[in-house]
């Protein structure tokens, strides 16, 4: 299996169409949300709010959602969801978070807002806009075969095609951070989960080891 998966004869990249949205969601529920550190670290664990699912699927019409599929069966083995942002993304997220106060998605968006304000990649790299990868998942039975790297490389290609000067992602998982570092992405900023606390010093998101921090990485295209 490992050798065959490395061949382009076996796997194809597809831009997700609106008709494929439920297939994408099914894959993400099984192979992304169950393990993604912020979804695991907020209650109820591993159960994404409807608003979170809707947020990811809302990117499909922009042609910034990709799947890797086995050519023979059409089975999805990896997926990535991305969206456009500009230098005002931090303020935009602050406003967006207000709609979800007191919910799981609200707690996640609050953390991502802090991360965005810290990293602010558009200002830092002096670009008008960037493609931000919001979700990345590989079939749990097929990890360690560079499928994550392949879907990221495919997203870079798609970003170039769509005219983006920069691609970036907030790696909430140690595995995605290691992966993009190997692909030559630059570390922009880092926020430890233990240091994300309220005014009483209580940690707001309890992420299990080995994940310790959100690391924002970017690559100029």
CA distance linking residue 21 with residue 162, whole number of Å: 21
CA distance linking residue 136 with residue 145, whole number of Å: 15
CA distance linking residue 37 with residue 214, whole number of Å: 9
Q: Shortest gap between Cβ of 82 and ligand COA (angstroms)?
A: 12
- H or E element that contains 12: strand 11-15
Among 36, 49, 89, 116, binds ligand COA (CB under 6 A): 36
Among 35, 94, 156, 212, binds ligand COA (CB under 6 A): 35
Q: Which stretch binds ligand COA (CB under 6 A): 9-17, 68-76, 91-99, 142-150?
A: 142-150
Name 125's Cβ contacts closer than 8 Å, sequence gap at least 6: 165, 166, 218, 220
Q: Shortest gap between Cβ of 111 and ligand COA (angstroms)?
A: 13
**Whether the Cβ atoms of residue 214 and residue 193 lie closer than 8 Å to each other:** yes
Please tell me whether residue 196 binds ligand COA under the rule CB under 6 A. no
* Binding residues for ligand COA restricted to 172-191, rule: CB under 6 A: 172-173, 175-176, 179
Q: Shortest gap between Cβ of 199 and ligand COA (angstroms)?
A: 28
Residue for token pair 């926020």: 191
Task: Point out which residues bind ligand COA (CB under 6 A).
Answer: 31-32, 35-36, 136-138, 143-144, 146-149, 171-173, 175-176, 179
């Amino acid at each position: 299996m490992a050798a065959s998966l490395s061949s382009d004869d076996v796997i194809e990249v597809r831009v997700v169409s609106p008709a494929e949205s439920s297939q994408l969601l099914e894959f993400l529920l099984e192979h992304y949300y169950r393990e993604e550190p912020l979804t695991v670290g907020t209650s109820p664990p591993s159960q994404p709010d409807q608003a979170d699912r809707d947020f990811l699927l809302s990117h499909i019409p922009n042609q910034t959602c990709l799947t890797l599929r086995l050519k023979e069966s059409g089975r999805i083995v990896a997926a990535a969801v991305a969206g456009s942002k500009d230098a005002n993304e931090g303020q935009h997220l602050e406003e967006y978070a207000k709609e979800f106060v007191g919910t799981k998605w609200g707690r996640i968006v609050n953390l991502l807002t802090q991360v965005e304000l810290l990293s602010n990649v558009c200002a830092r790299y002096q670009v008008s806009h960037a493609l931000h990868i919001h979700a990345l998942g590989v079939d749990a039975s097929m990890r360690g075969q560079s499928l994550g790297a392949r879907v990221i490389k495919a997203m870079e290609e798609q970003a170039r095609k769509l005219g983006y000067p920069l691609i970036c992602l907030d790696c909430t998982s140690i595995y995605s951070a290691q992966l993009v570092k190997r692909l030559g992405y630059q570390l922009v900023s880092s926020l430890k989960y233990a240091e994300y606390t309220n005014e009483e010093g209580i940690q707001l998101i309890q992420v299990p080891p080995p994940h310790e921090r959100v690391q924002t990485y970017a690559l100029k295209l």
